Amino acid sequence: MSRKLAIATLLYSADYLPGVFALGHQVNKFLEEAGKKDSIQTCLIVTTSLFNDTLSGFAKDLLNSVYTKIVLVSPLEFQDESVQRNSENLALLKRPELSAALIKARLWELTQFEQVLYLDSDTLPLNKGFLRLFDIMSKQNKLQIGAAADIGWPDMFNSGVMILIPDAGTASGLQDYILENTSIDGSDQGILNQFFNQNCCTDELIKESFPREWVQLSFTYNVTTPNLGYESSPAMNYFKPTIKLIHFIGRHKPWSLWSQKNFIKNEYHDQWNEVYNEFKKENGVEVEVPKVGIDDFDDTENDHTKTSTEEISQVSEPAPVPEVAATNTPGDNIEDSGNEPPSNPVPLDFTKWLTTFINKDYSISQQATENDEQPNENDGNENNSSPRSDQESSINDIQEPVVPSNDVSAQYTNEPQEHTNDGDATDNTTSGSEQKSLIENLQEPSTINNDVSVRPKNENGEHPKESGDSADDSNPEPEQKNSMNHMQDSIASNTDLSEDVKQHGLIDDNIQYLEKEKEGYEEFLPDVHETDAIDDEETEFFDDGVEEAVEGENEGEGKAKSSAAEDSQEGAKPAECKSGKPQEELPNFKFDWEASDYLSKVERCFPDDIFEYAVK
Ligand SMILES: O=c1ccn([C@@H]2O[C@H](COP(=O)(O)OP(=O)(O)O[C@H]3O[C@H](CO)[C@@H](O)[C@H](O)[C@H]3O)[C@@H](O)[C@H]2O)c(=O)[nH]1
Ligand SMILES: [Mn+2]
């Protein structure tokens, strides 16, 4: 008899709807292709309040067309207390919106299925090869979890792709565990590892008899991106044809406006966009959903009833005329509830990125000139609130003009006067709302009364244990092709963008030049239209990669580097910089860093912590 299998994903806030749609669409395509549409169900786990109170009938209809089962879930019992206890660790992640991801623990309650492949809604299977997980893990037992290693700490698994055996006992054990323990990362990934993963047992004695087991899947089933270190390595080229699934980890998802404007070029983002556009086209979303400018919607999860899991059958009513989000109280909007990255009034992160590519000799002399000749250049930038005291070291004198990103871009373009400091903050703050314009149209306080039945909780029989390696993959997958990014057209009308594109046209030119020159790094080079909103997370990847590259290229130059660092600590003045070239002789903002060791100088002149004073 065939097993009851399901592929499940999770939705607890409306801003992940595009992910849920694209994923469902893609999964359906591959189920069809593999001839498994009838044997594997697709299941959306969605919080009751989101589904009933926030999503529009149109959104529900779309969800029902993509997923064969929609399972409504309430927050875990005492979830608030767990979230509270985990808040400190979660703060380290800078992802407050993930506090509710603990609800993934409800996956083990899906006992109507014998085995569930859970996929985060920010994942994208690339081919039907991911379905092989059901074969690889066919002998899985309820005490095992199948998952790939997390790149952040490879002794732990990433909880964005997990294969599991639903089981009432495991479910309640896990939920008790969540109540009593603090998660390593403040969210589901940490606690699931602590519960299932033998590696997380730090007591060697107990480890021997650890009751559960993480069965490690091949990374090709959950290739997380961005991950500069990994992608830049030859391993990416080597394994690329075998990748079955991409996972867009981190704060910026392919559907977010930030990604559309700023994201480091990534073919997988393009691919996600293709799938999403395909979904929209097939479902007439673009035509049917008007763009409106409502910013607020209620995504809060208020239903704390004890009901564990409820299942609704397919919504049978016809698709209603598209409805827009209902009026909401100001306090309920997504930004207030922490589901959007907090706006960053000073585009420090872009600056951080930008300075990585600045010819330091030029930038310093330029800054020195600016300091001398244009002391008030930044006066108009109300974001640049950093106090400047006479006591500050000379390195701060060097750095300060760099902080507003547009000033830095001016250095690139050699047209400092043509770039203003206006608009950074405004632009950044508008991005969140623009990004939601589609989503908002998929929300409403619903009056739809779905057939709801309490889901039965069945015990599952235990399968013989297998700790087999699942890394096999003999099926060569097609190369991923690049495509145009259509998201700007489709998600939001973005009037700010064109203005900024114009403003920074020359920066774009330079970056394209760099891309051409630096083959193999394309994935990591921002397709920059904006100078704001790049966050630490991704710039850190970027910086790390650059440092790596420099290390490789400048082998044996450690001494020069350390002396450069000393210089910096002593507060070297612009005139004392290594090359000492006069400004006119310097290349006109060519990205000639490859041929030089300027990055080591950048390190000297732009130490990471130089920006800290402005980060409030
Ligand atoms: O506001 C939100 C946030 C998350 N989700 C759902 O929860 C999943 C997890 O969040 P995600 O943004 O994908 O987290 P990651 O950036 O992937 O971060 C890592 O850390 C998370 C917290 O431990 C884990 O849940 C992830 O699997 C792991 O990859 C999403 O895919 C969605 O399905 C929402 O519906 N709304
Ligand atoms: Mn994820």
Mean pLDDT for the stretch of residues 255-277? 81
Indicate if the pLDDT at residue 456 is higher than 80.
no
Q: Comparing 188 with 537, which gets the higher pLDDT?
A: 188
Peptide bond into 226 cis (omega under 30): yes
Which pLDDT score, from 0 to 100, does residue 303 have?
33
| Mean pLDDT comparison of 33-47, 279-293, 447-461, 499-513, highest-scoring range | 33-47
2 Cα–ligand 1 center, Å = 31
Q: Comparing 294 with 140, which gets the higher pLDDT?
A: 140
Mean pLDDT for the stretch of residues 442-470? 39
Q: Comparing 225 with 350, which gets the higher pLDDT?
A: 225
Which pLDDT score, from 0 to 100, does residue 120 have?
98
Model confidence pLDDT, tens digit, residues 58-89: 999 999 999 999 999 998 877 788 888 888 88
- Nearest-CA residue for ligand 1 atom 4 is 98
120 Cα–ligand 1 center, Å = 6
| Closest ligand 1 atom number to CA of residue 97 | 1
Mean pLDDT for the stretch of residues 189-203? 95
Which pLDDT score, from 0 to 100, does residue 593 have?
54
How far is it between the farthest Cα atoms of the chain?
A: 81
**Which ligand lies nearest the alpha carbon of 97?**
1
List phi, psi (to 5°) of 91. Answer: -60, -30
Pick the closest to residue 411 from 462, 359, 453, 454 (CA basis): 359
Pick the closest to residue 146 from 456, 477, 468, 560 (CA basis): 468
- The whole-angstrom separation of Cα 334 and Cα 436 is 9
Amino acid at residue number 57: G
Mean pLDDT for the stretch of residues 487-513? 28
Please, which pLDDT band fits residue 469 given cuts at 50, 70 and 90? very low
Contact 255, 129 (CB under 8 A): no
Model confidence pLDDT, tens digit, residues 152-172: 999 999 999 999 999 999 999
Q: Comparing 392 with 287, which gets the higher pLDDT?
A: 287
Indicate if the pLDDT at residue 454 is higher than 50.
no
Q: Comparing 312 with 273, which gets the higher pLDDT?
A: 273
Helix, strand or coil, per DSSP, at residue 141: coil
Q: Comparing 256 with 427, which gets the higher pLDDT?
A: 256
**Which ligand lies nearest the alpha carbon of 253?**
1
Please, which pLDDT band fits residue 15 given cuts at 50, 70 and 90? very high
Which pLDDT score, from 0 to 100, does residue 18 have?
96
- Nearest-CA residue for ligand 1 atom 17 is 249
20 Cα–ligand 2 center, Å = 11
| Mean pLDDT comparison of 285-289, 295-299, 359-363, highest-scoring range | 285-289
161 Cα–ligand 2 center, Å = 8
Q: Comparing 375 with 40, which gets the higher pLDDT?
A: 40
**Percentage of residues of the chain with pLDDT beyond 70:** 45
User: In this predicted complex, what is the ipTM?
Assistant: 0.99
121 Cα–ligand 2 center, Å = 7
Which pLDDT score, from 0 to 100, does residue 499 have?
32
Which of 262-271, 404-413, 450-459, 570-579 shows the lowest per-residue confidence on average (mean pLDDT)? 404-413
Mean pLDDT for the stretch of residues 405-428? 31
81 Cα–ligand 1 center, Å = 20
Mean pLDDT for the stretch of residues 90-114? 89
Pocket (CB within 6 angstroms of ligand 1): 9-13, 16, 97-98, 101, 120-122, 158-160, 185, 187-189, 249-250, 339
Which pLDDT score, from 0 to 100, does residue 251 have?
87
Those residues whose C-beta lies under 8 Å from the C-beta of residue 241, and which sit 6 or more positions away, are 476, 477, 478, 479
Indicate if the pLDDT at residue 232 is higher than 80.
no
- Nearest-CA residue for ligand 1 atom 10 is 98
Which of 186-190, 298-302, 523-527 shows the lowest per-residue confidence on average (mean pLDDT)? 523-527
Q: Comparing 140 with 321, which gets the higher pLDDT?
A: 140
Model confidence pLDDT, tens digit, residues 207-222: 889 999 999 999 999 9
Indicate if the pLDDT at residue 455 is higher than 90.
no
Contact 522, 264 (CB under 8 A): no
List phi, psi (to 5°) of 48. Answer: -60, -45
Q: What is the DSSP string of 254-266?
A: TTSHHHHHHPBP-
| Mean pLDDT comparison of 51-55, 256-260, 549-553, highest-scoring range | 51-55
| Closest ligand 1 atom number to CA of residue 251 | 16
Mean pLDDT for the stretch of residues 98-118? 94
Which pLDDT score, from 0 to 100, does residue 29 have?
98
Which pLDDT score, from 0 to 100, does residue 590 have?
56
Which pLDDT score, from 0 to 100, does residue 231 have?
65
| Mean pLDDT comparison of 461-470, 548-557, 579-588, highest-scoring range | 579-588
Indicate if the pLDDT at residue 145 is higher than 80.
yes
**Percentage of residues of the chain with pLDDT beyond 90:** 34
Q: Which domains does the chain have, with CATH numbers?
A: 5-283 (3.90.550.10)
C-alpha separations of 272 from 70, 72, 154, 251 in Å: 23, 26, 26, 16
How many Cα atoms sit within 13 Å of 236 on the Cβ side? 18
| Closest ligand 1 atom number to CA of residue 101 | 7
555 Cα–ligand 2 center, Å = 37
- What mean pLDDT, rounded, does the chain reach? 62
Please, which pLDDT band fits residue 234 given cuts at 50, 70 and 90? confident
Neighbours of ion ligand 2 (CB under 5 A): 120, 122, 160
Which pLDDT score, from 0 to 100, does residue 34 have?
98
- The whole-angstrom separation of Cα 338 and Cα 188 is 17
- The whole-angstrom separation of Cα 566 and Cα 107 is 54
Model confidence pLDDT, tens digit, residues 324-342: 222 232 222 222 223 333 3
Which pLDDT score, from 0 to 100, does residue 550 have?
33
Mean pLDDT for the stretch of residues 299-320? 32
| Closest ligand 1 atom number to CA of residue 190 | 23
Please, which pLDDT band fits residue 513 given cuts at 50, 70 and 90? very low
| Closest ligand 1 atom number to CA of residue 161 | 27
Mean pLDDT for the stretch of residues 373-387? 35
